[in-house]
Structure 1
Amino acid sequence: MSRPVSQAAAARLADHSADARMAVLAAAAIVVGTGGALGAWLLLKLIALATNLFWFGRISAASAEIVDADVGLAVVAIPVIGSLIIGLMARFGSEKIRGHGIPEAIEAILYGESRLSLRVAVLKPISSAISIGSGGPFGAEGPIIMTGGAIGSLFAQCFRLSAAERKTLLVAGAAAGMTGIFGTPVAALLLAIEVLLFEWKPRSFVPVVVAALVAFGWRPWLLGAGPLFPVAAAAMPPLGTVLALGLVLGMVVGLEAALLSALLYRIEDFFHRLPIHWMWWPAIGAVAVGLGGLVDAHVLGAGYANIDSLLQGSLTLRVVLALLVVKAVVWLIALGSGTSGGVLAPLLILGGALGYMFGSFLPGSPGFWAMIGMAAIMSGAMRAPLTGALFAAELTGRFDALPVTIAAATGAYAVSVLVMRRSILTEKIARRGRHILQEYTVDPLDFLQAGDVMTAAPETLDAAMPAGDAIAFFTERATHRSYPVVDAEGRLCGLMSRSDALRWQTDGVDYRLPLGELLSDASQPAAFADTPIGSVADLMIETGIGRIPIVESGGGRVVGILSRHDLLKARSMRRREELLRLRKPSTTV
């Protein structure tokens, strides 16, 4: 009989394996973090190159603003040309470059074994640069998350790592890319935890931190140091008042996030009903982008200058209102058309604009409330409250406002959960028939023990029973597929199943032989009462045996049996904890 698995032994094996993998992945994360930082630098250079080429007719990677271009009515044609190129790249290159990147990364993690191709790693930044450079109202964060993730995934594939290890490096690359673009390593880490990892383990947490810090270390050499949108600290009104106002503003912005998500997917549905190939949809959406550019050129491109102006509080209410309405229209239509680009920068503008408008009537600077609105909309739209709160603080350097950004992010998150079934990210995946749960819980299989759910004092067969009697038992009276076979002291000798009875009949086994002799050479897995039921479930998978005997530690006497059906008891216990309320106060001390 094989040696039963104890809780301590299972824990030691798991800890040793996890420690080794964590060390290997942390070392790999240094390379992936460097790749993510370089990918961010390259993406920004490509965007600048595309902007110069489309709007100024020059080949240059120097920073340029679309609002400085004077192209007349060509402002309508340029986004269409760029979108036509993207449609061709998606159809004949890779369809995965469509969309804003983060849902595609989530889907690859959960359903694609974290495999991203070299083609995606190359085409995604190029297509996004063309999209943003030709006037697409998107940011660079979604594309760099996809690109950085592809770098991590490809590195893992080169060394033939497991799907779980590929996931860790994919997310590490995504966090590194986001850190490279925005200089927000803590927010990038929290985004990884809240949106991408779907677990909280040292094996994944440590490598992601390493990659983000490596990218942050490279950033001063590649893109410059300090916050991307530094805002001078100013005295805030009394904290109690600001916290309450931040919570209320967050709730209002949460409604804005829900409205934007609903409109986005209605527009996407409209495009899906068009009787033409999806390759042409981005060009159709780009017509709206060009018309929006005629109204106000500030809505074109990534709009980082708009974010800065909102945070500095240097805009009039009329300009902010125009920016809010026109930016929302062109962004929703363009993104709904399936072109390539990110959601974060547009969301920051829209949430910041609404916060700015409210801030004009609240105590403090409108720019301060624009920052609060940015934290709230990121939380509400992406269902990432900690990311939203920390991102706004890191992006501006206003860590003194962190309590207010947390209040606003919480308010937006609460409203979003109440009025939206899914986030703006996971809704896209759900429309492909896949359900995503973003709530983290501890799996009952990981903390309950076999003794908590096993069937105690199970029916057994005597090792001295003749084979013929055992076969007759299975033919006439057996209610289970298998039974533990025990000796006179109740110690486990093996497990006899219905298939054993059929095999012995076919093989012509001597029916007078006792079960103990027939099973003496059989290797029977078993477990102790303190073995985590997750380890027992793994044992079932490895052996194909659906009923595992539970034995005493030391003596080997059978005290219970754990079946697949018993594993469902863990689910039932968790469900009772969630739903069952006491009818009267407990008197337990």
Structure 2
Amino acid sequence: MLAAMAVVVGTGGAIGAWALLRLIAIATNLFWFGRLSAQPAAITDTPLGLWIVAIPVIGSLIVGLMARYGSDKIRGHGIPEAIETILFGESRLSLKVALLKPLSSAVSIGSGGPFGAEGPIIMTGGAIGSLFAQCFHLSAAERKTLLVAGAAAGMTAVFGTPMAAILLAIEVLLFEWKPRSFVPVVVGVIVAFAWRPWMIGGGAMFPFIALTPSGLWPIATAAGVGILVGLEATLLSTSLYRVEDLFHRLPIHWMWWPALGGIVVGIGGLIDAHVLGAGYPSIQALLDGSLAMRVVLALLMVKGVIWLVALGSGTSGGVLAPLLILGGAAGSLLGHFLPGGSGFWAMIGMAGIMSGAMRAPITGALFAVELTGHFDALPLAITAAASAYAVSVLLMRRSILTEKIARRGRHILQEYSVDLLDLVQADQLMTHNPATLPGKMSLRDAADFFAEGAKHRSYPVVNDGGVLLGLVSRTDALRWQVGDIMIETSLAETLSDASLLVAYPETPIGAVADLMVDSGIGRIPIVEPGSHRVLGILSRQDLLKARSAHRQSETGRSGFIKRSRSSATA
């Protein structure tokens, strides 16, 4: 069902991507050339001169007004907002966000904002998937699947990177690896990829000519490049949130912050117009190796500053394209001193910085090679991505995406592992041969038993053959004492089948935990299938012991080879 729905969502994501790119082109032409056209235009060709400072301010002011009087959810990167909606908003996005996010992003990017279309299209495609899902009776998990399918479909339509979009969904958005989410996401991505040649264009987005070096030295060099851009990613992420903190200290409403950031963007554009806008031509030029050293340095320094200030001001924009430019510029500079050419190492720098900043190493590596069509460079790309990722996790507590959510008081863990409760079976944790009460015991004797200080709050009741009849608790004993019940009646006569809450030796303890939550009972009998003879009992304390044992296996260190007493003394 979800896969069938993903066909519609994938188509919607592709249409959303087409519309977003057209809106960006229209805004660019209006702001910089005063004409109404949906054809792509380069801001570097503008004849405005000193007026170049004013355009980003005007665009940012419009975005601030849209955020205040439209929806404040259009502010920011796009991806953190999608993550927050998935984890804390039951994957419900509104129609207002679906309309305002691409429009505000088009105004922001078209007026010179140093952002790309990836964050906005992830939010827009996600909104399309979420709105479609809300037309049906679906669970929050199913809505999440369609939201992510729409986001990944939009990213695929813009960049033509289906594998990277699927992996971005897995590494950043889904927070699970399950067929019920993976298959629909793949369907949505492939549908969008099929529409892309008709709507946007086919082939790699940034093709370039380069020979992939082979041997040991390129691997070592890629690792070194990854370490350097990993440090760059760490510096950028830390600086971004320091800039954001500075804006929060301003004594004016946040609606005006983007306009203040726009002043810095305009000044940067006056220094070098290449730093304005999405910068896709600059990415292509970096890969082609056609940029002068002065322009590469401007991209690295000026683009970095205006991006940090603009994004920190809370305007609508993304992180991926600026990261590609900044990582590509660093790789290009290093490439001037390395065999293989500056373009090739710019691509490796792009893979590394995306991995380091977003904590998505496989996505970063595949995204770089899919964008360029250089799949033969994947081993070097993954080497740089892994190196940058290692630097990032050692130096930063969170990624550039999750830090924004953490500042709102919500912790996000991007490390996935198998749930211990689904891995361990009941017979591995249960208490064997537990204490039981005989079915022929009277209610009076049972009440006295609990009153005299029973060790546990509840006990299984069994017949002479050890077959479970039910579960009796201290609460039951208190009710018998004060209620109108024949006190000489036996437990077997009193208990009903409704009290038969059981699990089996092969039952995962996660299912037992769910049974405890649903019933409010803290001890579940483990019985033999078929005969229902009691084999053991599982308590909440047993589940906590399992958690403790798992933590010990993760953190406890010991050696298998012990030194002898004599050698230790020597």
TM-score range, shorter chain: over 0.9
Residue of 348, 361, 366 corresponding to 2:324: 348
Counterpart check, 1:193 vs 2:170: yes
User: TM-score of the superposition, structure 2-length normalised?
Assistant: 0.97
Residue of 516, 519, 533 corresponding to 1:543: 519
Q: Which residue of 2 aligns with 1:9?
A: none
Give the counterpart letter for 1:393 in structure 2: V
What is the CA–CA distance in structure 1 between the aligned matches of 2:496 and 2:129, rounded to whole Å?
Answer: 50
Counterpart check, 1:48 vs 2:25: yes
Which is further off, 577-586 or 82-91? 577-586
Which is further off, 206-215 or 570-579? 570-579
Q: Which residue of 2 aligns with 1:479?
A: 455
Q: Which residue of 1 aligns with 2:443?
A: 467
Contact 2:471–2:499 under 8 Å retained in 1: no
Q: Which residue of 1 aligns with 2:565?
A: none
What is the CA–CA distance in structure 1 between the aligned matches of 2:177 and 2:214, rounded to whole Å?
Answer: 37
Q: Which residue of 2 aligns with 1:3?
A: none
What is the CA–CA distance in structure 2 between the aligned matches of 1:46 and 1:203, rounded to whole Å?
Answer: 34
What is the CA–CA distance in structure 2 between the aligned matches of 1:48 and 1:434, rounded to whole Å?
Answer: 36
Sequence identity, in percent?
Answer: 71
- 1:446-490, Cα deviation, whole Å (9 max, x unpaired): 111001111222211111111011111112212322111111111
Q: Which residue of 1 aligns with 2:566?
A: none
Q: Secondary structure at the match of 2:49?
A: coil
Structure 1 stretches of 4+ moved >6 Å: none
Residue of 419, 427, 432 corresponding to 2:408: 432
1:562 is displaced (CA, Å) by: 1.1
Give the counterpart letter for 2:276 in structure 1: L
What is the CA–CA distance in structure 2 between the aligned matches of 1:262 and 1:522, rounded to whole Å?
Answer: 58
Residue of 465, 485, 504 corresponding to 1:489: 465
Give the counterpart letter for 2:270 in structure 1: L
Q: Which residue of 2 aligns with 1:571?
A: 547
What is the CA–CA distance in structure 2 between the aligned matches of 1:573 and 1:202, rounded to whole Å?
Answer: 30
- 1:530-580, Cα deviation, whole Å (9 max, x unpaired): 111111122223323221100122321111111222222221222122122
Residue correspondences, number: 562
Contact 2:265–2:310 under 8 Å retained in 1: yes
Q: Which residue of 2 aligns with 1:252?
A: 228
Give the counterpart letter for 2:419 in structure 1: D
Q: For CA contacts below 8 A with separation 6 or more, give which structure has more relative contact order.
A: 1
Q: 1:521 to 1:227 in 2, by over 3 A?
A: closer
What is the CA–CA distance in structure 1 between the aligned matches of 2:196 and 2:523, rounded to whole Å?
Answer: 55
Counterpart check, 1:224 vs 2:219: no
Q: Secondary structure at the match of 2:498?
A: coil
What is the CA–CA distance in structure 2 between the aligned matches of 1:583 and 1:398, rounded to whole Å?
Answer: 45
Q: Which residue of 2 aligns with 1:7?
A: none
Give the counterpart letter for 1:371 in structure 2: M
Q: Secondary structure at the match of 1:496?
A: strand
What is the CA–CA distance in structure 2 between the aligned matches of 1:147 and 1:574, rounded to whole Å?
Answer: 40
- 1:295-343, Cα deviation, whole Å (9 max, x unpaired): 0111110000000000001112222111110000000000000000010
Q: Secondary structure at the match of 2:317?
A: coil
Which is further off, 561-570 or 107-116? 561-570
Counterpart check, 1:458 vs 2:458: no
Which is further off, 312-321 or 244-253? 312-321
Q: Which residue of 1 aligns with 2:567?
A: none
Q: Which residue of 1 aligns with 2:35?
A: 58
Which is further off, 315-324 or 299-308? 315-324
Give the counterpart letter for 1:168 in structure 2: T
Residue of 108, 133, 137 corresponding to 1:131: 108
Q: 1:439 to 1:521 in 2, by over 3 A?
A: closer
Counterpart check, 1:441 vs 2:417: yes
Counterpart check, 1:294 vs 2:270: yes
Give the counterpart letter for 1:29 in structure 2: A
Could you list the runs of 5+ residues in structure 1 that have no partner in the other structure? 1-23
What is the CA–CA distance in structure 1 between the aligned matches of 2:215 and 2:138, rounded to whole Å?
Answer: 50
Give the counterpart letter for 2:77 in structure 1: H
Could you list the runs of 5+ residues in structure 2 that have no partner in the other structure? 563-570
Q: Secondary structure at the match of 1:528?
A: coil
What is the CA–CA distance in structure 2 between the aligned matches of 1:499 and 1:523, rounded to whole Å?
Answer: 13
Q: Secondary structure at the match of 2:134?
A: helix
Q: Which residue of 2 aligns with 1:319?
A: 295
What is the CA–CA distance in structure 1 between the aligned matches of 2:457 and 2:154, rounded to whole Å?
Answer: 54
What is the CA–CA distance in structure 2 between the aligned matches of 1:505 and 1:92, rounded to whole Å?
Answer: 64
1:521 is displaced (CA, Å) by: 4.7
Which is further off, 24-33 or 480-489? 480-489
Q: Secondary structure at the match of 1:231?
A: coil
What is the CA–CA distance in structure 1 between the aligned matches of 2:186 and 2:208, rounded to whole Å?
Answer: 26
